[in-house]
Amino acid sequence: MPEAPAQAERFGKARAERSTALLEDYVELIADLFAANGEARAADVARRQGVTHPTALKNIARLRREGLVTARPYRGLFLTDAGRKLADAARARHRVVVDLLIAVGAPREAAEADAEGMEHHVSKATLKAFERFLAERRPADRDEAPQRQADEDESKTS
C-alpha cells in the first residue's frame, strides 16, 4: 500500500478531474457541432450527450458561469477564447488516447468508448509518453493500416 498522504493526493486528483470532465466533454462537443453545422444548439448537445435538454441547459449554465461559453436566449452557443482553447486541448488529447488504446491492441470500438472516460485522467506527463510511444510505433503514418491484429468478436463490450 502507498503511504497515506500520497494515496489521498491521488484520490483527490481523480476527484478534481471528475469535476472537470463534464466541462471538457461539453466544450469539445460544442466545438465539433459548430465545425460540422456552423452552429451549436443546446438540443444537439443534449441528444449527443444522451441527456434531456433541461439537464444539458443546466450544465451549459455552468459552462457560462465558468466563462467557457456565451449564449443569447433562443440562439446558438458560442465558445469563448478560453472555451475554444480548452476544446482544442481536449480534442487533441482525446485523439491521442484513442490512438494509444488501439496501438496497444484494444478493439477500435472499445478504444473509442473507453477513451471517453479515460481521457480526463491523463496527465501531461502521461500524454507526452503516449505521443512518444505512438511516434515510435507509427512513424509518420496517417491512414488506417491494421497490421497488428487482435481482432476478435466480443459482443460484451463493457
Partner DNA sequence: GGAAAAATTTAGCCGAGGCTACATTCCTGT
Partner DNA sequence: ACAGGAATGTAGCCTCGGCTAAATTTTTCC
Instruction: Work out whether 114 is an interface residue with its own copies (CB under 8 A).
Output: yes
Integer Cα distance of 21 and 19 in angstroms: 6
Residue 97: which of 109, 107, 112, 87 has the closest Cα?
A: 112
Q: Which residue is nearest to Mn ion (CB)?
A: 94
94 binds, among its own copies, Mn ion, DNA, none (CB under 5 to 8 A by kind): Mn ion
Instruction: Work out whether 127 is an interface residue with DNA (CB under 7 A).
Output: no
Which one of residues 58, 108, 128, 132 is an interface residue with DNA (CB under 7 A)?
Answer: 58
Which one of residues 57, 71, 89, 106 is an interface residue with its own copies (CB under 8 A)?
Answer: 106
Nearer to its own copies by C-beta: 70 or 123?
Answer: 123
Least Cβ distance, residue 130 to DNA (angstroms): 25
Least Cβ distance, residue 136 to DNA (angstroms): 36
Instruction: Work out whether 116 is an interface residue with Mn ion (CB under 5 A).
Output: yes
What is the DSSP secondary-structure string of the chain? ---HHHHHHHHHHHHHHHHHHHHHHHHHHHHHHHHHHSS--HHHHHHHHTS-HHHHHHHHHHHHHTTSEEE-TTS-EEE-HHHHHHHHHHHHHHHHHHHHHHHTT--HHHHHHHHHHHGGG--HHHHHHHHHHHHHHSTT--S----S------S---
Least Cβ distance, residue 55 to DNA (angstroms): 3
Nearer to DNA by C-beta: 74 or 147?
Answer: 74
Least Cβ distance, residue 73 to DNA (angstroms): 4
